[in-house]
Amino acid sequence: MNIVIFGPPGAGKGTQSNFIVKKYNLYQVSTGELLRREILNKSALGQKIETIINSGNLVSDQIVSDLIEKYISNKIYKNRLIFDGYPRNLIQVKNLDNLLKKYEQKINLVLKLSVSLETIKKRIIERQLLEKRADDKESIAVKRYQMYEKNIEPVIEYYKQSNLLTVVNGEKTIGEISDEISGLIESIKG
Ligand code: AMP
């Protein structure tokens, strides 16, 4: 089973991805992580990526596609992938479909963790209290949330039309969300 997971920063995507990976023995492909690893390699490609990311832009669809092909083509990960941070636009949606077809796989489930801006703000304030510091993290987080939701909207719409999308209520507790996701995965595994 291959899964795609979406959610704005602060939605608990990382926590839930880790849970799914462990429980169902999947492998997480996070494009942000792959890109950061490439930068650490100090290759020519890594240096190019570093410049792009540091300027706040998205890396080209081709670079990201080449990086994830290494995982999709690897028999060890066949039908065991959970994509995080990918696809980010409609070209990447097509690229992912084509790559999966090429290696005789498909997406079985698309999850969108949905949380309101109010909840994101509350979570940030709670975290700040724990860390005992007050800064302008809130306004940055609000911007990131709004950007994320706006940019990902056509991608989400595409998966909705394809009947692959399930929206999970990210307002619930970590345990409740994990249970809901488990139920979805079990029902697909049959
Ligand atoms: P993230 O860790 O997902 O926030 O990604 C960090 C940075 O990596 C982003 O700001 C982008 O510059 C780049 N990046 C991650 N995923 C993608 C993607 N699917 N397409 C293009 N750029 C990406």
**If you average pLDDT over residues 18-26, what whole number do you get?**
97
Angle made by CA atoms 76, 40, 13, in degrees to the nearest 5: 60
Cα of 31 from ligand 1 centre, angstroms: 6
Q: Is 53 in the pocket of ligand 1 (CB under 6 A)?
A: yes
Q: Which atom of ligand 1 is nearest to the CA of 30?
A: 3
Q: Is 58 in the pocket of ligand 1 (CB under 6 A)?
A: yes
Question: Ligand 1, atom 11: nearest CA belongs to which residue?
Answer: 58
pLDDT tens digits, one per residue of 157-190: 999 999 999 999 999 999 999 999 999 999 998 7
Secondary structure class of 175 (helix, strand, coil): helix
pLDDT tens digits, one per residue of 110-164: 999 999 999 988 887 887 777 665 556 778 788 888 989 999 999 999 999 999 9
Cα of 67 from ligand 1 centre, angstroms: 12
Q: Which of 29, 54, 59, 86 has most ligand 1 atoms within 8 Å of its beta carbon, as the pocket-test mutant?
A: 59
Alpha-helical segments (H) within the chain: 13-24, 31-40, 44-54, 61-72, 90-102, 117-131, 137-161, 174-189
> What does the block give as tokens for 105?
């796989």
Q: Domain residues for 183?
A: 3-189
Our count of domains for the chain comes to 1
Q: Which atom of ligand 1 is nearest to the CA of 88?
A: 19
Q: Is 31 in the pocket of ligand 1 (CB under 6 A)?
A: yes
Q: Is 64 in the pocket of ligand 1 (CB under 6 A)?
A: yes
Percentage above 90 pLDDT, the chain:
76
| CATH number for the domain harbouring residue 40 | 3.40.50.300
Phi first, then psi, for residue 43 (nearest 5°) are -75, 170
